[in-house]
Amino acid sequence: MTAQGAAVESSEPDLIARREGPVGVIRLNRPKAINAVTLEMFRDVDKALDEFEADPEVGLILLEGAGERGLCAGGDIRALYESSQVGGDLGKILWREEYILNARIAGFPKPYVAFMDGIVMGGGVGLSAHGRHRVVTERTRLAMPEVGLGFFPDVGGTWLLSRSPGEIGTYFGLTGQTMNGPDAIYSRFADGVVPSGKLGTLREMLVRLPAGVTNAEVKNTIDGFANGETAGPIAAMRPQIDRWFAHDQMQDIVAALRADGSDLAQSTLKTLNEKSPRGLVVALKLLRLARASPSLQECLVREYRAALQVFASDDFREGVRAAVIDKDRNPRWSPPRIEDLTAQMIAPYFAEIGADELVFDQTK
């Protein structure tokens, strides 16, 4: 349960923003869609942050999801697919506003708490993992599976993943595998594991904090409920993962996995073989560039360039078709093999885009 167990009325809006004591609550409210985020919801989050930032009675922000299944399953992929099919501009508009919002959350001047209970994917990661106080539970299932859609981990995902220990972020970014709560702590996507049964009580404690609460006081409150776990199953796999994923070329990663006869190596190879070859190569290059980047904003600018190219690509439409539309789980990637990709095919994903470049509003 994501802090609120009451049935959601169908007449309620997709996003609920209201003050509860000193807390500015932002609740994603599409439980039937696991709170998948639409363009209008991103805009409503931004408006709520405007209001809460200006209100001296609001001391902290709390992001939560309605329903039992999770915080957020990602963005509205179907709408993006339909726009891409007809040469529309939803991708250009939605990702611009979403990425600017991601950067705003990362620099928000008041404590920002995210309850990352249940499923947290894609756009849901962007709304939560850039916050100052990121709470996961034993029910958390966090993933960035975009490469399976002919895409790459965006919403600042390349910044986050490139700052995970060793090659853990490379592994999660390329395979799209799921983190549990302690995995998310180890991978630096979250700050504390709180049992889901205690989220309601933690929420009550946050509402009682004074309007002038500091980040240190919020952290101490959350720490009082956290179970202290800091490493999940992924930590034990790190030596192998660091060895396999240390390479800067996808062919070398694949070769390292092929050369290892272990069950883990072979299952990882099988997972990679299901992904878009183009998506894998673009994602790996973005991750390596992000590792040397000084800021989240620089990574978001790079992601936006690549995202516009993805939006116009056959692989994106094919990936969404196979996973979401027809659900046959049998995408026909173009090209079908990593070996068939050329530098000329990849270059447009990293080219400057002139007047369409992502620009951040320095007033927020």
The alpha carbon of 272 is separated from its chain's Cα centroid by a whole number of angstroms, namely 19
What distance in Å separates the CA atoms of residue 21 and residue 3, rounded to the nearest whole number?
16
Please count the CA atoms within 13 angstroms of the CA of 299 that sit on its side-chain side.
29
Instruction: Answer for the pair 302, 353: CB distance below 8 angstroms, yes or no.
Output: no
From 44, 64, 98, 146, active-site residue: 146
What are 37's strand-pairing partners? Answer: 75
75 is catalytic: yes
From 67, 75, 148, 176, active-site residue: 75
Instruction: Answer for the pair 43, 97: CB distance below 8 angstroms, yes or no.
Output: yes
Show the beta-strand stretches assigned E in 110-165.
Answer: 112-116, 119-121, 133-136, 141-143
List the one residue out of 294, 364, 359, 295 whose CA is nearest residue 110: 364
Provide DSSP, 176-216: -PPB-HHHHHHTTS-SEE--GGGHHHHHHHHHTS-TT--HH
123 is catalytic: yes
87 is catalytic: no
Pinpoint the alpha helices (H) of the chain. 39-54, 77-85, 90-106, 123-128, 157-161, 168-175, 181-186, 199-207, 215-223, 233-244, 250-259, 263-273, 277-291, 296-311, 314-320, 343-346
What distance in Å separates the CA atoms of residue 347 and residue 354, rounded to the nearest whole number?
15
From 44, 76, 98, 154, active-site residue: 154
From 67, 123, 148, 169, active-site residue: 123
Instruction: Answer for the pair 244, 167: CB distance below 8 angstroms, yes or no.
Output: yes
Residue 117 sits at φ, ψ, to 5 deg, of -85, 145
150 is catalytic: no
Question: Active-site residue numbers?
Answer: 75, 123, 146, 154
